[in-house]
Amino acid sequence: MQGFLGDKLSQILYREDQWNRGLITGNIAQLAVYAAMSGRPVKILTTNYDTHIENAFHDLIKRLRAETSDGIPTPNWPGLRWRTVCAPNVTEEVVEEAPPTGEAIEIVYLHGRVSKDGRADGLVVLTESDYACSLEPVLAELTASFCLPETRVLIIGSSLTDPPLVKALALTKHPSRLRVALQTLPDDLETLSARDAAPAVDLLDKRSQHLGIRMLHPLNYGQIAQFPEETSICLVHRALGAKVGSYRAKKTGVRYGQRLNYWWPQWQKRLPPDHTQSDFDTLRDVLAAAPKFLRNGKSDESFRLELWVRRDVDLERRSVTLWANSVGPIVERGFLRTELIVHNSANSSVRALMAGKPTRNHIAGLNLSSESSRWKSFLSVPIYVQVHPNLMLGGGVPVGVITLAGSGDKETGMLYQASDGHLQELIYFLIAGGRRILSIRE
């Protein structure tokens, strides 16, 4: 039975919707690697079945090896091992040996592990009976992990309602232990003003305090992915000390807000005098090639490409501006269209920016009537650019969104009929086009 389920789960975990996975897995892997490189033992406890975190580890190490430069000594890259906790098939495996003087990252699959080839390790928890069997070993693992001296805990992707997690947190609560949870506010609170939402937020925070947790409320899912990246950058700066400067110091310019504020004036300096024409030319060329990635659907469908930019970054009034499109050069720059970055925006580009990953939206899902626009389907992709020249000393920042709008609907439109593989190829192509305009690095 587990073998059959493993095959079916692998089809879901590895072959469907891979085009919109976002950055969070890679950023968690980055934090784990940087923490291990600084001499900290690292354990990742997950209820996910997939091995995406292992793949992210290998991709990151490969990239870091290529990026290590600027006189920074080559570090001891950490090893990697994983294990499951629930009988009858408790398994463990060393994926990559740790160096003699280094740490190994340990991944613990609390609800079982399913590899891309369909192999199932541990008890794959799917039914109520499976869950009941997993309660005791999962509680034991969580409790043992949380009670270690000097333990630092970061909780991502949990509603803090799972009984073993809640009990383990309660049993191991101690003033000396730093434990942080990232949790966006419920949808019904997101639509309220800060003043009206304050009582409910206060209750959520008080509950987390009872469990010995400091609760942080990111504004959107994109910021959840951003948190581990910023933490890992902070670790690198602390480890290298005076050689690169403090993460907090203004002169280093590596904090997220500093990087975002730095990008706009630097990008403005690089804009050619005729940028309205060159931006249009770039989007027109990208649009001309885009349909080759969309091989199903209506052949007579029309498309439009838009580039939205975080212009004059204002943290008090966060917005994006329609900077260029594929219809024609926007000559009048004094009246550019602007959209606020708010929850449940009717703008597909805003939704992608808040999600922190590519999103596909239908006009009805944006709470707009079908008659309100010629464009019925949208593929929006956030554009991240690297501001700092070294990957380890400063991460990317989302400076804009490129959106492909189609006239087709869900039943016949190319954006909805395209395969996952073709969508992934299209997204890479759109990102390259967006970076051609928005990058400040050669």
Residues 172, 286: Cα–Cα separation, whole Å: 54
Burial class for 369, CB neighbours closer than 10 Å (0-12, 13-18, 19+): exposed
Q: What is the model's pLDDT at position 42? A: 94
Per the listing, tokens 């309100």 go with 372
Residue (of 252, 264, 258) closest to 390 by Cα position: 252
Residue (of 179, 162, 133, 126) closest to 12 by Cα position: 126
Instruction: Please list the pLDDT of the chain residue by residue as tens digits (442 residues).
Output: 556 666 777 877 776 557 777 889 999 999 999 899 888 899 999 999 999 999 999 988 887 777 665 555 556 788 899 999 987 778 888 888 877 767 889 999 999 999 988 888 999 999 999 999 999 999 999 999 999 877 899 999 898 999 999 999 999 999 888 999 998 877 666 666 667 778 878 888 898 999 999 999 888 888 999 999 999 888 887 777 756 566 777 766 778 888 888 889 989 998 988 999 999 999 999 998 887 777 655 567 899 999 999 987 766 678 999 999 999 999 888 889 999 998 889 999 999 999 999 999 999 999 998 888 999 999 999 999 988 766 566 678 899 999 999 998 888 888 888 888 888 889 999 999 999 999 987 6
Written as one letter, the residue type at 164 is P
Residues 115, 130: Cα–Cα separation, whole Å: 19
The torsion defined by the Cα of 74, 432, 12 and 81, in degrees rounded to 10, comes to: 0
Look at residue 215 and give its three-state secondary structure: strand
**How many C-beta atoms lie closer than 10 Å to residue 319's C-beta?**
17
Determine the Cα angle at 94 with ends 92 and 97, to 5°.
160
CA 85 to chain centre: 27
Q: What is the model's pLDDT at position 86? A: 87
Query: Which residues are bridge partners to 398 per DSSP?
Result: 384
Look at residue 165 and give its three-state secondary structure: helix
Q: Which two tokens stand for residue 248?
A: 């907090």
Q: What is the pTM of this model?
A: 0.86
Q: What is the model's pLDDT at position 96? A: 81
Residues 372, 187: Cα–Cα separation, whole Å: 25
Q: What is the model's pLDDT at position 298? A: 56
Look at residue 344 and give its three-state secondary structure: coil
**How many C-beta atoms lie closer than 10 Å to residue 252's C-beta?**
16
The radius of gyration computed from the CA coordinates of the chain, to the nearest angstrom, equals 23
H/E element, 196: helix 194-210
Q: Which two tokens stand for residue 36?
A: 């291990």
DSSP assignments along 377-416, one per residue = EEEEEEEEEE-SSSGGG--EEEEEEEEEEES--TTT-HHH
For 365, residues 6+ apart whose C-beta sits below 8 A from its C-beta are none
* Structural contact between residues 143 and 117, judged by C-beta atoms closer than 8 angstroms: no
Look at residue 307 and give its three-state secondary structure: strand
All domains of the chain, ordered by start, with CATH? 2-243 (no CATH), 256-438 (3.30.450.40)
